[in-house]
């Protein structure tokens, strides 16, 4: 099979390319150049591109760099800024996978004549005889199926995830055995286009201007101030400018229009349900009992999905999901689909 491997400059995609070579595939590496601004973390820095290129050299495969900066700005960065401006909490990694890796890059792979696109995500794709299934990665601590929930049948049929059946320690062991320069490289953790040095406040401040706001309690009484309401997320405890008291207080509502953040106690954060928008399904809509995961590394919660209302109702009250975050539905280790918390 002729396979294009998306190489981010990390150990997982490096080993993915190596495994495909070992399996006898015709492998070509590529790296997407997505961000033209400053970057010191994630998969957008110059160092990451260089690491990918050097690993390709070590493996003896061709490596290309595709510039998708305009697509990234329009599909990931601009929505990220707009969501913050509306007081919501975006998930840019989900949008990057949706719009760039498994749309723009997958289409480029098709045009260039590749049979499949491979990535280093910790998730698994298989076929049950009737349809393609997306499953959790074997390493529960590193599972990335949450950020791939938008993949449908057409995409999964042309996607390979070679490291999904391996524990992360085994991935690093194989990289070390092969002498790959990325064997000991730390995993990226942050938003790739926001530098660790300047931070989110600086990035957003340059693009939309930040609004100082007041912090009020559930009665409407003013209890503090924040430097920027656009930087506050539901459930946040620190940085709210609230004087210490006998119990912690959390952001339970963010109203950018009135520059107001409302705080409450832990009980005020509890909710039994969340409405979802922009649903996508791996193999058609479903309903009924599910496991709902509300963050990339969150604990799946027993719930039921009401397709008519577009609502997930949890068996037990749990911390409210911040608007803008993805909620992904599973049965066992199989991804059903997901949507965005309204």
Give the phi and the psi of residue 338 in degrees, each rounded to 5.
180, 175
Cα 90 versus chain centre, distance: 10
290: left (phi over 0), alpha (psi -120 to 50) or beta: beta
Beta strands in the chain (DSSP E): 2-6, 26-33, 63-67, 116-118, 123-127, 132-136, 159-160, 213-216, 222-226, 250-255, 260-264, 270-281, 288-293, 301-306, 311-319, 326-331, 334-341
Rounded Cα–Cα distance for residues 36 and 312 (Å): 39
CA distances from 176 to 29, 42, 47, 187, 233 (A): 19, 21, 20, 15, 40
List the structure tokens of 108. 């480029």
CB atoms closer than 10 angstroms to residue 195:
19
**81 half-sphere exposure, CB direction, 13 A CA radius:** 17
Q: Are 320 and 274 in contact (CB under 8 A)?
A: yes
Q: Which residues of 274-285 are buried (b: 16+ CB within 10 A; e: fewer)?
A: bbbeebbbbbee
Percent of the chain that is helix, strand, coil (3-state, to 5): 30, 30, 40
Catalytic residues: 96, 192
């Amino acid at each position: 099979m002729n396979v294009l491997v998306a190489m981010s400059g990390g150990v997982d995609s490096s080993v993915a390319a190596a495994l495909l070579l070992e399996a006898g595939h015709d492998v070509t590496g590529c790296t997407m150049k997505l961000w033209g601004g400053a970057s010191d973390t994630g998969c957008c820095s110059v160092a990451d591109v260089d690491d990918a290129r050097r690993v390709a050299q070590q493996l003896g495969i061709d490596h290309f760099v595709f510039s998708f900066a305009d697509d990234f700005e329009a599909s990931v960065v601009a929505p990220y800024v707009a969501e913050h401006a509306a007081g919501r909490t975006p998930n840019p990694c989900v949008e990057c996978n949706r719009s760039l890796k498994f749309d723009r890059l997958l289409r480029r792979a098709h045009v260039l004549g590749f049979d499949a696109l491979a990535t280093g995500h910790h998730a698994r794709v298989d076929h049950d005889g009737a349809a393609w299934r997306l499953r959790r990665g074997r390493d529960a601590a590193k599972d990335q199926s949450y950020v791939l929930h938008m993949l449908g049948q057409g995409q999964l049929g042309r996607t390979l995830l070679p490291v999904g059946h391996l524990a992360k320690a085994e991935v690093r062991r194989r990289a070390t055995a092969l002498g790959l320069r990325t064997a000991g490289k730390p995993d990226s953790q942050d938003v790739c286009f926001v530098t660790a040095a300047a931070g989110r406040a600086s990035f957003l401040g340059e693009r939309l201007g930040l609004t100082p706001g007041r912090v009020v309690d559930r009665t409407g009484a003013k209890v503090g101030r924040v430097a920027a309401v656009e930087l506050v997320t539901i459930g946040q405890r620190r940085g709210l400018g609230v004087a210490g008291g006998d119990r912690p207080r959390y952001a339970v509502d963010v109203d950018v229009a009135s520059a107001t953040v409302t705080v409450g106690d832990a009980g005020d954060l509890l909710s039994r349900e969340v409405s979802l928008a922009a649903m996508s399904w791996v193999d058609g809509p479903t309903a009924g009992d599910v496991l709902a995961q509300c963050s990339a590394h969150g604990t799946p919660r027993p719930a039921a999905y009401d397709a008519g209302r577009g609502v997930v109702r949890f068996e037990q009250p749990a911390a409210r999901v911040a608007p803008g975050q993805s909620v992904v539905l599973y049965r066992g280790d199989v991804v059903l689909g997901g949507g965005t918390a309204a």
